[in-house]
């Protein structure tokens, strides 16, 4: 069983986790230590930890920022075992959770507005340098210590295993639904993908009173979407007839897919002023800018798109009117 790396300062609180040592992402037992509880810290015994797709990205160093050994996990739930002498929100025995952050600068504008996720000096739960220079380790371990401001209470009636995904997947879809006004009864919302994020989006959208259409490449997920999660309809994104049938009907779409995929077909499903929200960690996007204007009932296109436009016009595949941006695109196509 491997011990802590040179990055780790030896604290008195021994801990056991599972860590990757390199970008193969292979996890194995790892001995390390957690810091002593400060006056505003909460220590918890970890009971469950969800697996997020971003854990896989970081294990494989897909973003080029991973520090090894890496103990992943930021959907952490457990029971408080120790509190600092100035902790006000929690007591020993409370059921609590820790999400994607364990600290922030506390002084920037984002922090002042309770938007610590946007703090330029935020400290993610694992794989980053903490304020004391040590490396943060995540929830694939037996214990966690964090400032009480980054700990949340789990209601007693909510099973802890079910609560874990709310700490990342849940808030990832809940927040944009609320922020973009897609939390009103009677709206028609599309949910692209039915994985860890998508199933949460369906549940929240239905709880808000929305009509929900799941958009997926997998026909075998139809029963899950309709029967188990309560979605109102199911559309295969590769079936042009099905996609045509819901064109221009949606007030908003939550796209949860983390793989590269075309966005243009999704844009065509939106009503005027509809919102397409991307929450999947896609490494590369192909975003057609001009169709974004279609919600204003005309689509401004570059000159070199004209032949495609004519083909679409022949098929009646245009929302009201194409308009060619002659001034800005004609010269670039003839040089």
The residue among 290 and 244 whose pLDDT is bigger is: 244
The pLDDT of residue 130 is 86
Confidence check: pLDDT of 138 > 90: yes
> What pTM value is reported for the model?
0.77
Mean pLDDT of 117-137: 91
Mean pLDDT, the chain, rounded, equals 86
The pLDDT of residue 6 is 45
For the chain, percent of residues with pLDDT exceeding 90? 64
The pLDDT of residue 299 is 55
For the chain, percent of residues with pLDDT exceeding 70? 83
Banded pLDDT at 292 (limits 50, 70, 90): low
pLDDT tens figures, 36-85: 899 999 999 999 999 987 888 899 998 899 999 999 999 999 999 999 99
CB atoms inside a 10 Å sphere around CB 41: 21
pLDDT tens figures, 209-226: 999 999 999 999 999 999
Confidence check: pLDDT of 233 > 60: yes
Banded pLDDT at 297 (limits 50, 70, 90): very low
Task: Establish whether the linkage from the previous residue to 69 is cis, with ω within 30° of 0.
Answer: yes
Alpha carbon distances (Å) from 171 to 42, 82, 243, 281: 22, 26, 28, 15
The pLDDT of residue 296 is 44
Confidence check: pLDDT of 250 > 80: yes
The pLDDT of residue 140 is 92
The pLDDT of residue 287 is 65
């Amino acid at each position: 069983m491997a011990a802590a790396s040179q990055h780790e300062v030896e604290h008195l609180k021994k801990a056991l986790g599972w860590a990757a040592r390199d970008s193969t992402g292979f996890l194995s037992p790892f001995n390390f230590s957690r810091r002593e509880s400060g006056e505003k810290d909460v220590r918890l015994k970890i009971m469950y930890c969800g697996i997020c797709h971003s854990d896989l990205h970081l294990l494989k160093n897909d973003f080029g920022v991973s520090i090894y050994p890496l103990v992943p996990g930021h959907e952490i739930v457990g029971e408080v075992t120790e509190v600092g002498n100035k902790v006000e929100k929690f007591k020993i025995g409370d059921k609590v959770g820790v999400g994607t952050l364990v600290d922030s600068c506390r002084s920037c504008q984002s922090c002042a507005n309770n938007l610590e996720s946007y703090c330029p000096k935020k400290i993610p739960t694992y794989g980053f340098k903490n304020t004391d220079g040590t490396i943060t380790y995540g929830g694939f371990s037996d214990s966690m210590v964090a400032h009480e401001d980054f700990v949340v209470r789990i209601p007693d009636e909510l099973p802890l295993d079910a609560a874990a995904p709310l700490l990342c997947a849940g808030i990832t879809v809940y927040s944009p639904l609320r922020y973009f006004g897609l939390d009103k009864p009677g709206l028609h919302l599309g949910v692209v993908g039915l994985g860890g994020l998508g199933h949460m989006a369906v549940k929240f959208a239905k709880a808000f009173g929305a009509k929900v259409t799941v958009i997926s490449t997998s026909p075998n997920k139809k029963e899950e979407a309709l029967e188990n999660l309560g979605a109102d309809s199911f559309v295969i994104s590769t079936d042009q007839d099905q996609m045509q049938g819901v064109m221009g009907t949606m007030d908003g779409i939550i796209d949860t897919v983390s793989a590269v995929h075309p966005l243009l077909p999704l844009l065509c499903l939106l009503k005027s002023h509809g919102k397409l929200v991307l929450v999947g960690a896609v490494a590369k996007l192909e975003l057609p800018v001009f169709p974004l204007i279609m919600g204003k009932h005309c689509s401004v296109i570059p000159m070199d798109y004209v032949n495609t436009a004519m083909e679409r016009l022949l098929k009646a595949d245009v929302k009201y009117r194409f308009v060619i941006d002659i001034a800005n695109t004609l010269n670039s196509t003839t040089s």
